[in-house]
Amino acid sequence: MIALLKRDLWLAVRAGGGFGLGLAFFLIVVVLIPFGVGPDASVLEPIAPGILWVAALLACLLSLDRIFALDYEDGSLALLATSPLPLEGAALIKAIAHWLTTGLPLTLAAPMLGVLLHMNSEAYGYLFISLALGTPALSIIGTFGAALTVGLRRGGLLLSLLVLPLYVPTLVFGAEAVRRGAAGMDVTTPFVMLAGITAGAFALLPFASAAALRVNLR
């Protein structure tokens, strides 16, 4: 498992820009918003948490089809399926690798981009924690979507269509936590729910992903 994780991380960092691309996309979306709604701080401040969450979600979505596609094409996914490591474990590791290469950098970068959107200074900590809790769920749900569409030639658009509705609860609780934090309200419930979604998704979705992968490798 560790070897697979290391291999995936090296591939993401070294081979062709997949690593920085999500982060750059995140930056560009956040920069585009003030062009769209105007640079007024009083407009930007209340919507900043939501924008950062939606932008992080879209940046996450961008790199999903790379999770399995390359391995499927060159046959290493079939090798993984026949290895002693259960396919559920492989799906879990793939999701963790995806989070380490997209979710974690996004979480670290988000507070800095909050400055650009005049985000309320109290919200930075909440934004960081909610993204740290929520982006792993985005990765594991996305891994499931990628496993469903891995056999398709043009699965990218379909992947977004399948995965985005599944992202709704994570997005609602994540953005709600930051919004409540910025308003100085109690944030326990959304944070607990967010952590619950992440934990539940990590516990259950690898099985669904592995089932989908087995079908696609048949």
Partner 1 sequence: MSIWEYANPKKFMATTAPLIPWIFGGSMLLIAVGLLWGLFNTPAADQFEHSVKILFVHVPSALMAINGWMMMLVASLIWLIRRHHVSALAARAAAPIGAIMTVIALATGAIWGQPTWGTWWAWEPRLTSFLILFLFYIGYMALWTAIEDNDTAADLTSVLCIVGSVFAVLSRYAAMFWGKGLHQTATFSADRETNIDASFWWPAVISMLGFGLFFVALVLIRTNTHIRLRRADALEARARRAA
Residue 209 CB neighbour total at 10 angstroms = 29
* Residue 99 DSSP one-character state: I
Choose between 86 and 151: whose C-beta lies nearer to partner 1.
151
Measured CA distances, 37 to 16, 33, 46, 166 (Å): 34, 6, 12, 27
Which of 190, 191, 198, 206 binds partner 1 (CB under 8 A)? It is 190
Taking the C-alpha atoms of residue 209 and residue 216, their distance in angstroms, rounded to an integer, is 10
Looking up tokens 């326990």, which residue turns up?
188
- Is there binding between residue 197 and partner 1 (CB under 8 A)? yes
- Is there binding between residue 47 and partner 1 (CB under 8 A)? no
Neighbour-count burial of 165, counting CB atoms closer than 10 A to its CB (0-12 exposed, 13-18 middle, 19+ buried): exposed
Q: Minimum distance from CB of 163 to partner 1 (Å)?
A: 9
C-alpha count within 13 angstroms, C-beta hemisphere, residue 10 = 6
Which of 54, 90, 91, 205 binds partner 1 (CB under 8 A)? It is 205
CA dihedral 63, 171, 152, 16 (to 10 degrees): 0
String of contacts with partner 1 for each residue 160-189, x by CB under 8 A: -xx-xxx-xx--xx--x------------x
Do the Cβ atoms of 66 and 148 come closer than 8 Å? no
Q: Minimum distance from CB of 19 to partner 1 (Å)?
A: 28
- Residues 72-111 touching partner 1, rule: CB under 8 A, are none
- Residues 123-162 touching partner 1, rule: CB under 8 A, are 144, 148-149, 151-152, 155, 158, 161-162
Q: Minimum distance from CB of 69 to partner 1 (Å)?
A: 15
Residue span binding partner 1 (CB under 8 A) among the ranges 56-64, 74-82, 108-116, 206-214 = 206-214
Residues in contact with partner 1, counted by CB under 8 A, come to a total of 29
Structure tokens at 82: 């026949």
Which of 25, 193, 198, 206 binds partner 1 (CB under 8 A)? It is 193
Helix (H, G, I), strand (E, B) or coil at 4: helix
Taking the C-alpha atoms of residue 192 and residue 172, their distance in angstroms, rounded to an integer, is 13
- Is there binding between residue 208 and partner 1 (CB under 8 A)? yes
Binding site for partner 1 (CB under 8 A): 144, 148-149, 151-152, 155, 158, 161-162, 164-166, 168-169, 172-173, 176, 189-190, 193, 197, 204-205, 208, 211-212, 215-216, 218
